[in-house]
Structure 1
Amino acid sequence: MAVHTAKQALDAAVEAARWAPSVHNTQPWTFVMSEGEIGLRADVDRKLRVSDASGREMLISCGAALFTMRTALRGAGVEPVVRILPDPDRPALLATVRPGAESEPDERTRALCGEIERRRTHRAGFTDLPVPRRLVEALVKDASQEGARLTPIGSPQAVEVVAALTRAAQGVQSGDRRFSLEVIRWGLPPGSARKDGVPAAGYPREPVRTDPHFAQRDYSWRHDWGSEAGQATQAATGVVALLTTPGDSREEWIAAGQALQRVLLHASAYGVSAAFHTQALEAHHLREFLREELCSGEQPQMIMRLGITFEDKDSVRRPLSDLVD
């Protein structure tokens, strides 16, 4: 076994959880260590007040952290015992996790553990290398095992619809000073010492156009920040996919986050990265259109593109001392 005590397993789980993906890399979580278990709490001070007033994206981010903890515990040689939303009187407490029975981690678990710190969000186009169909099919199965549905969009017309909705939402948000200020709060200037947000090397200085074009967040708004690497050669759209859940409860937002991280870690193990587009999901009418027209009535929780890139971006994470009580 990789870890010999319950405390070591819990420490490893929290260390891993801080590497989970989150909207704008806000890292909207804290952890409480007590009586042999971890309490995962939403850090509501990090919620996006303008674009995520309901907290949906915050809870998806926390769900990704929860799956990361589950994976790290399995990698440490114990089965995780999880309770979701265990206390109605404490809505910020999203889950508790404690080590259960000992179990030898299998090859798949070890592979996922190896990607926790290596996985990166991509914010541009991809190379022309195709994502293997068998891998996409496996990712669909991954999501279903966490209570969500991953639907790759095969129709070029449907891909164009999703791209157009993304462009429309980005255009509206770019013209709204409140949205713009919220985004640039998390877009870091070169040389920033902050341990949250998106480093300047992690987003393009100028938009990288794909065909059809999926608009990206303008983290460099009115600044000459960002990276120029790869803009000429990495412009493929990749595989466009929608992550949905049957309903739209807090439990399902957390489930969507767990499904998302399971998909991302599996994809990363095969050299496949993801780019996220949440703009249309932050506009109620556009999200409803997606639900009714492309999601068979299910609730869209994430729009993503999957593809292959050879760029190696840096990422930043807050220290454990800021996260653990």
Structure 2
Amino acid sequence: MSTRSPKQALDAAVEAGRWSPSVHNTQPWTFAVSGEEISLRADTARRLRAADAAGRELLISCGAALFTMRVAMRCEGYEPAVRILPDPDRPALLATIRPGEETQADEPTWVLGGEIERRRTHRAGFADVPVPEQLIDSLVSAAAAEGARLTPIRSAEAVGVLAALTQAAQTLQTQDQRFNLDIIRWARPPGSTRADGVPADAYPQEPAPTEPDFPQRHYSWRHGWGAQGTPAEAATGVVAVLTTRSDGREDWIAAGQALQHVLLHASAHGVSAAFHTQALEMDLLREFLRQELCSGEYPQMIMRLGVTFDDDKDVPRRPISDVLE
């Protein structure tokens, strides 16, 4: 049983939560500790103004933080007691989590916990190394455990459609000043000391196209930033879509928890994810995907999974003093 105090479990959960993935590394969350309970709150000032007007991606990001805290609390020896959207009169309060009964973390939980600070978002192509089918199956199960569905896209034609829609959305967004301002706001120049956003060395200066091509965000935006020395060719990896049956705030939080479960499990097996949310940020394209490729379920994330060339770069994170109220 646990030899850690509830206070230590709370501290560990908050520290872990800030390492979670978020759209453009916005880290749109704050934590408040009262007694033996953590409140997870949405930092709506960090919402993407054009791309995420409804706050869907913000809540997915916060859902990822919630799952991370659950894992950390189990590793500290306590079963997390969680309430989702506990107060309708406080919409920014997304969840509360507190140490419940003492427990002994099992091996899979320890493995997930060990990846919290090691996991990295990838923003390029992958090495030409296959992802084992057994691992893909386990990632599908990880998403299902959190109430979402992860569907690997097996058909080359369907992969082509997803790539084409991503290309179309990327082209349209680069012509739209509102979307460009979202990118500019969260792109960090070389040498920046900011603790959020996407660093200039976190993506290739000249990305190698995949086949079919899934374009990345133009974080450098005419500045020529980016890491040099990237491969001339890159593999696409396994394309997958994360969906939910309905599309409310609770579903978005569930999608975030499922996403982080998938990412941590994949990271433990040397597999990273590259995200492509462009088409999901345009209502008509997202609805087309829902009807034509997702069997009526709501797409929450499009990703590619694969083995990376090099993903050991430091990731900026806001200090505890910024996120803990």
- Per mean C-alpha deviation after superposition, the further-off stretch among 224-233 and 124-133 is 224-233
- The answer to whether the 8 A contact 2:206-2:230 is kept is no
TM-score (ref. length: structure 1)? 0.98
Alignment of 1:218-237 (within 5 A): 218-232=218-232, 235-237=234-236
Q: Corresponding residue for 2:276?
A: 277
Q: Corresponding residue for 1:55?
A: 55
Gaps of 5+ in 2: none
Deviations 1:165-198 (A, max 9, x none): 0000000001111111210211111100000001
Q: 1:265 aligned to 2:268?
A: no
- The answer to whether the 8 A contact 1:2-1:75 is kept is no
Q: Corresponding residue for 2:100?
A: 100
Q: Corresponding residue for 2:122?
A: 122
* Alignment-mate amino acid for residue 242 of structure 1: V
* Alignment-mate amino acid for residue 58 of structure 2: M
Alignment of 1:162-181 (within 5 A): 162-181=162-181
Q: Corresponding residue for 2:304?
A: 305
Q: Corresponding residue for 1:42?
A: 42
How far residue 149 of structure 1 moved from its aligned partner, in angstroms, is 0.2
Gaps of 5+ in 1: none
Q: 1:192 aligned to 2:200?
A: no
* Alignment-mate amino acid for residue 128 of structure 1: D
- The answer to whether the 8 A contact 2:2-2:103 is kept is no
What SS class does the counterpart of residue 197 from structure 1 fall into? Answer: coil
Q: Distance in 1 between matches of 2:71 and 2:143?
A: 15
Q: Distance in 2 between matches of 1:143 and 1:70?
A: 15
Deviations 1:142-179 (A, max 9, x none): 10110000000000000000000000000000111111
How far residue 314 of structure 1 moved from its aligned partner, in angstroms, is 2.0
Q: 1:254 aligned to 2:257?
A: no
Runs of 4+ in 1 over 6 A off after TM superposition: none
Q: Distance in 1 between matches of 2:143 and 2:266?
A: 12
* Alignment-mate amino acid for residue 232 of structure 1: A
Q: Distance in 1 between matches of 2:59 and 2:196?
A: 17
Q: Distance in 1 between matches of 2:92 and 2:167?
A: 33
Could you tell me the percent identity over the aligned residues? 69
- The answer to whether the 8 A contact 1:153-1:239 is kept is yes
* Alignment-mate amino acid for residue 289 of structure 1: F
Q: Corresponding residue for 2:291?
A: 292
Q: Distance in 2 between matches of 1:3 and 1:230?
A: 47
* Alignment-mate amino acid for residue 119 of structure 1: R
How far residue 86 of structure 1 moved from its aligned partner, in angstroms, is 0.2
How far residue 3 of structure 1 moved from its aligned partner, in angstroms, is 5.4
Deviations 1:32-82 (A, max 9, x none): 100210000000000011100000000000000000000000011100000
Q: Corresponding residue for 2:78?
A: 78
* Alignment-mate amino acid for residue 76 of structure 2: A
TM-score (ref. length: structure 2)? 0.98
Q: Distance in 2 between matches of 1:320 and 1:46?
A: 17
- The answer to whether the 8 A contact 1:85-1:94 is kept is yes
Q: Distance in 1 between matches of 2:229 and 2:303?
A: 21
- Per mean C-alpha deviation after superposition, the further-off stretch among 168-177 and 178-187 is 178-187
* Alignment-mate amino acid for residue 111 of structure 2: A
How far residue 2 of structure 1 moved from its aligned partner, in angstroms, is 6.6
